[in-house]
Homo-oligomer: A and B are copies of this chain.
Amino acid sequence: MRHFLTTADWSRSELQGLLDRAAAFKSGTVSRSLEGKSIALLFFNPSLRTRSSFDIGAHQLGGHAIVLDAKGATWPLEFSDGTVMDGSEEEHVREAARVLSSYVDLIAIRCFPEFKDWGTEREDPMISAFAEHATVPVINMETIVHPCQELALMLALQERMGSVEGKEFLLTWVPHPKPLNTAVANSALLIASKFGMNVRMLVPDEVYRLDERYMSAAEAFVGEAGSSLTLTTHVEAAYSGADVVYAKSWGALPFYGNWDDEAPFRAKGADFMITPEKMAMTNNGVVSHCLPMRRNVKIADAVVDSPAFLGIEEAGNRLHVQKAVMESLATQGGS
């Protein structure tokens, strides 16, 4: 049984298959592949697009979604094995995953890292425990990666420019009032490199390197594709000739959870907001950001409101790519 936890587990051609199916859905293809089936959407964190698009997508496929707020509306969950559960957690994932599996055909989970200990959190323990104990496929709605967003971005890029192979993809760190998790940055790096783009990362300082797991995966992907991966702190070098600019803010992993010490490094990127001036250096490039997005902090209004901005298409594509993922997982084994 296959899960959709990270695009790293899926080959480029499998992912392209999902993208092609998503494009067909977007063009009007109708499917009732979830008829009589249901999906549980388990949220440990807030969501606007994800809960909307999964719920509506499941409904459009003939299925039924239930939304569970894991903080507040349900019980706090323990995921470690062997724990004496005398703290605040009232239920173990071993039970929750098996019982939910007896009610529904798919389980989707959003569970952000908690900025306590990256050494533990980089193992994605909650969704990993669900994937281990559930007897139905599990879908990642954003944990330490955001694979549905990756597909939505790639579909938007292919719609705008056809094949992305060999295009120049800039992942730029942008300012934000507080340190954020690296999920979307990891994901942008993975998908751009996997699809054969030349990837440039622009960061305020080397401390903003992403986790070695993702850096080395991207190295391997560009090696296979014959493309390149570079990390720079120079704005002009990064923007010059870029075909795609993708914005994301994140906290530097060496200061994970101890953000006060990160402040001086963060300050080096104070001018990293995406502006018309920066966009003028690109190869008539497009620009995007997963939503939510703070205007005039990460990207200036003049850029967001220009035709170069792909963020609305990317977010809209969530509906279609997730239908492709749900259909693919729910019909494994030919059911």
Which A residues have a C-beta under 8 Å from some C-beta of B? 36, 38, 40, 43, 46-49, 51-53, 55-56, 59-60, 64, 66, 68-69, 72-75, 78, 81-87, 89-92, 94-96, 98-100, 102-104, 177, 291-297, 301, 304, 311-312, 315-316, 319
Contacts and interface: CB of A to CB of B under 8 A. Distances in A.
B46 A75 contact: yes
Contact of A102 (B98, B292, B316): B316
Contacts of A64: 55-56, 59
Nearest to A63: B59
Contacts of A46: 72-75
A60 B84 CA distance: 38
Nearest to A38: B56
6 contacts: A36-B60, A56-B64, A56-B104, A91-B291, A95-B293, A96-B291
A66 B78 CA distance: 28
Given A56-B103, A103-B52, A103-B316, A73 B295 contact: no
Contacts of A68: 48, 51-52
Contact of A312 (B51, B89, B102): B102
Interface centre among A73, A74, A90, A94 (most CB of B within 10 A): A73
Given A95-B315, A319-B102, A319-B103, A86 B52 contact: no
User: How many identical subunits does the complex contain?
Assistant: 3
A155 to B, nearest CB: 13
Nearest to A291: B95
A40 B83 CA distance: 37
Given A95-B291, A319-B103, A82 B301 contact: yes
A117 to B, nearest CB: 22
Nearest to A305: B94
Contacts of A81: 301
A292 B90 contact: yes
A40, A52, A75: most-surrounded residue (chain B CB, <10 A): A52
A35 to B, nearest CB: 12
A295 B81 CA distance: 10
B99 A291 contact: yes
B48 A96 contact: yes
A98 B292 contact: no
Q: Nearest 9 A-B pairs (CB), nearest first?
A: A91-B292, A102-B316, A85-B294, A48-B74, A84-B296, A99-B315, A90-B292, A75-B292, A59-B64
Contacts of A53: 103
Contacts of A99: 48-49, 291, 312, 315-316
Contacts of A84: 295-297
A209 to B, nearest CB: 26
Given A91-B292, A91-B293, A99-B316, A40 B66 contact: no
A100 to B, nearest CB: 7
